[in-house]
Amino acid sequence: MQLLPSLLAGLTAVCATFPDARKGRGGNITTADFGLSAFAMFFMQSASFLAYQRALEKGQGRSNGQTLFAIGRIPSDNYIRDKLDEADPALLQPCFERLESLLAEPSMRQAFGRLGGRTLIAWDGTEYFCSQKLGCPNCLTRKRSNGKTENYHCLLSATVVAPGHSNSKVVPLMPEFVATQDGAEKQDCERNAVKRWFDNHHARIATLRPVFLGDDLFACHPVAKMVTDAGDDFIFTCKATSHKALYDFIDGAELSRHEEKARRRNTKETFRYRWIEAVPIRDGKDAILVNWIGFEIVDAKGKVKYSMAWVTSLPVSKDNVAVIVACGRARWKIENESFNVLKNHGYELEHNFGHGQKFLAMTLAALNLLAFAWHTMLELLEPPWQAAREAAVKRTSFFAHILILTGYVVFPSWEALLQSLTTSTIPPELVKSRDSP
């Protein structure tokens, strides 16, 4: 087993760079222990994990926090919050860069590569904290109908997706936080955040040959030009209500057309494609030219069941229009397989694990996304993890079994823990060690 220990070693090195304002010796808790302890909670899918490990350490003299996560000493919850409030989430970027390097490996390119080996990266924003009582300098604000001001946090996620992926896997990359910017008169927004994300990361991920996906918000001249000027491509949702000039231009124009028959279970459907190339995305002589695609799914009775349209910088033809549409529709995976899982299936992204006054809420959210990304990578690349997941069948059962086992037995390594999960047995020497002095 190599990948998980290697990822943890990288995270330990990054957490060791977190700021430490403690005077003198700083106690017997290292700077890395604070970040690793918070991450362990997200990785193990349990807000109670640290409490269980403190109990184990008290009873047995050591814990899985030490043996699995290399935590020297588990800090108290409040101590973790205080220390991580000083840590800018940007410090975690090397951990996300490691994921980018993994995505470039042949097996990952095979899993996620589309359009001739290119990587689809979906952009979308999501809220992860909201309160009328708590707030910090990084909070966004809005007025509610009752007159009260609401504070909230939002992040722009950049997530690797792929249509038709049999296991519905997605990999979140380093997020960009939609937060109050120094010196800015207006409140931050997703479009500003996507520009910052692109400036910070696009050159480094060029080897992935990205095609960026996004909803109608990103189908605008500045974002489209930003992407194409860098030599990349995009597929953005394009609604008629927000692109009047574009739809006026194509109204009455001669469109290319293509149809495909499909069978879904016992139902026959027709996929209808329409497209036109080199249309202006907005009014103005300097407007960037894009290719427009319209798509409909029609049932056997001729009723339109689904209708959507996109603009793209990719050339469109009869031979590739279906593939481009499938990639455009894959944008929904950032909602279904990413945000939905993060908020409703174990990661509890919207739960207030700690808000702080500086960076805490953002840093905890970044650690949560990192844990989610690691789980995806391990399911695709780490054989012992794959075997344990397969043995558990359900994802919820897998993490429930992990929590139960690590609450009572100290495992010397991840390999030992995953072997126990795979075989549904605990090595006798580990059970005996619990009873020994």
Query: What DSSP letter does each residue of 151-217 carry, written as one string?
Result: EEEEEEEEEEE-TT-TT---EE---EEE-PPTT-SSPP-HHHHHHHHHHHHTTTTGGG-EEEEE-GG
Question: How many DSSP H helices and E strands does the chain contain?
Answer: 18, 12
What is the CA angle 84-86-92, rounded to 5? Answer: 65
298 strand-pairing partners:
270, 304
Model pLDDT, residue 151 = 92
What confidence score (pLDDT) does residue 302 get? 85
pLDDT of residue 165: 56
Contacts of 362 (CB under 8 A, 6+ apart): 89, 138, 153, 155, 177, 179
Q: Where are the beta strands (DSSP E) in 238-334?
A: 256-264, 267-280, 289-299, 304-312
| Sign of the alpha-carbon dihedral angle for 212, 217, 219, 221 | negative
Tokens of 236: 């953005």
Report the SS3 class of residue 38: helix
Give dist(CA 434, CA 437) in Å, integer: 8
Report the pLDDT value the prediction gives residue 397, as an integer from 0 to 100.
92
What lies within 8 Å, CB to CB, of 352 at 6+ separation is 129, 131, 134, 361
Q: Mean pLDDT, 10 residues at a time, over the chain (437 residues)?
A: 94 95 74 96 93 89 94 93 95 97 92 92 95 90 88 95 78 93 77 96 95 96 96 96 94 92 84 95 93 94 92 96 96 91 91 92 96 95 94 92 92 95 88 55
What would the two tokens of residue 437 be?
A: 């002095």
How many degrees, rounded to 5, is the angle at CA 161 between CA 160 and CA 165?
140
Between the alpha carbon of residue 402 and those of residues 204, 372, 431, the distances in Å are 36, 16, 16
Q: Name beta bridge partners: 28.
A: none
Q: Which two tokens mark 410?
A: 């100290």
- pLDDT for 184 equals 64
